[in-house]
Amino acid sequence: MSSALLIPGVATACAQESQKAVLVGEKPLILSTWNHGLPANAAAMGKLNAGGSILDAVEEGVRDTELDLANLSVGLQGLPDREGITTLDASIMTGDGNCGSVAFVRQIKHPISLARKVMENTPHVMLAGEGARQFAIMEGFPLEEEVLSPKAAEAYAKWKETSQYKPIINIENHDTIGMIGIDSQGNMAGSCTTSGLAYKMHGRVGDSPIIGAGLYVDNEVGAATATGLGETIIKICGSFLIVELMRQGRTPQEACEEAVRRLISKNKNINDIQAGFLAINKEGVTGAFAVHPGFNFAKATSKENVMIDSSSHFKP
Ligand code: GLY
């Protein structure tokens, strides 16, 4: 990797930059996976600027994506499992080690806020399935009707023509939002939310609600989040691995690259697998790396909010 500094330009919200290692940190800073990260970052920064905490910011940011009707991989409009039911996974974590998550939950518009309630209002870290739904009702979350969005219904009907179960990841059918952020005092938090793999087996849970796989945050070191085929990320405890590599002295970029190498070494059929990681260390230095080209992320500072193409193990 090049070690050039990122020179701040007159970036606009839609500007595309190629990824460069950033060795001078910036705070506050928010990173989010994929194109939907741009409006999510804007919502998160808005919350932070309005006096919210970094935890409030990462919750607010991904709530925006959970409502995005154009998005087929986050929120209740996401593609369903192979029974035609949309089930959601989400997690949230603060830099002091507090965390909460929900998995395989139905009918809840904002699983990220439910994950936060698990963190704040229960002695547990994770609630799943019907238990998570019951807890949501207790907390006053409205239950949404279980109807597929028009786009998801159309895609599901097409999939059913062959019902081919092949968990291939690509940007079109799978693009979880993972968000990590640091405020100007160095407090960190992260959030991750998804409808998971399209046409998954009913009951399948991915990496996003699993602390250490889809998300990990530690104010002493840094934060990481993941996107892509969850099974491959769970197998290497991807986000925890990156934070621990940073603890041992790797830069965020080196840590993301090592996690991708580890993932590749533990998974066959790597041609069919996409996964990507984002990391920030406690100085506000960033890293990003993916298995294949095509992964991008949004980076927001107090000056700009821009899309950046991640580098990858396999080259275009
Ligand atoms: N990365 C999200 C999932 O596999 O469900």
**Ligand 1 centroid to residue 279 C-alpha, Å:** 17
Question: What percent of the chain lies above the pLDDT cut of 90?
Answer: 83
Average pLDDT across the chain, whole number: 91
**Which of 65, 87, 94, 176 is the catalytic position?**
176
**Ligand 1 centroid to residue 218 C-alpha, Å:** 22
Q: How long is the chain?
A: 316
230 lines ligand 1 (CB under 6 A): yes
Question: What percent of the chain lies above the pLDDT cut of 70?
Answer: 90
Looking at residue 20, what is its pLDDT?
A: 54
Looking at residue 166, what is its pLDDT?
A: 62
284 lines ligand 1 (CB under 6 A): no
Residue 310: is its pLDDT beyond 90? yes
Which pair of tokens denotes residue 99? 């965390």
* Cα dihedral sign, 168-310-155-71: positive
Query: Mean pLDDT throughout 267-290?
Result: 94
**Ligand 1 centroid to residue 215 C-alpha, Å:** 11
Looking at residue 165, what is its pLDDT?
A: 62
Confidence of residue 8 (pLDDT cuts 50, 70, 90): very low
167 lines ligand 1 (CB under 6 A): no
Q: What are phi and psi of 102, to 5 degrees?
A: -130, 145
Looking at residue 4, what is its pLDDT?
A: 30
Confidence of residue 3 (pLDDT cuts 50, 70, 90): very low
SS3 for 150?
A: helix
Taking the mean position of all CA atoms in its chain, how far away is CA 202? 21
Which pair of tokens denotes residue 47? 């919350």
> Which ligand 1 atom lies nearest to the CA of residue 196?
5
Q: Minimum mean pLDDT among 37-41, 100-104, 214-218, 271-275: which range? A: 271-275
Looking at residue 61, what is its pLDDT?
A: 98
Query: Mean pLDDT throughout 272-276?
Result: 92
Q: Rounded to whole angstroms, how far apart are CA atoms 193 and 181?
A: 15
Spatial neighbors of 194 by CB under 8 A, at least 6 apart, are: 73, 74, 78, 88, 89, 90, 176, 177, 206, 208
Residue 25: is its pLDDT beyond 50? yes
Question: How many Cβ atoms are within 10 Å of 55's Cβ, its own excluded?
Answer: 25
**Ligand 1 centroid to residue 73 C-alpha, Å:** 9
| 176 catalytic residue (yes or no) | yes
194 lines ligand 1 (CB under 6 A): yes
The per-residue b/e assignment along 205-222, b for 16 or more CB within 10 angstroms, e otherwise, is bbbbbbbbbbbbbbbebb
What does the pLDDT look like over 185-200, one tens digit per residue?
999 999 999 999 999 9
Which ranges constitute the DSSP H helices of 8-128? 37-49, 54-66, 111-121
Q: Which fold has domain 25-309?
A: Glutamine Phosphoribosylpyrophosphate, subunit 1, domain 1 (3.60.20)
Q: Rounded to whole angstroms, how far apart are CA atoms 148 and 72?
A: 11
> Which ligand 1 atom lies nearest to the CA of residue 208?
2
DSSP code for 22 = B
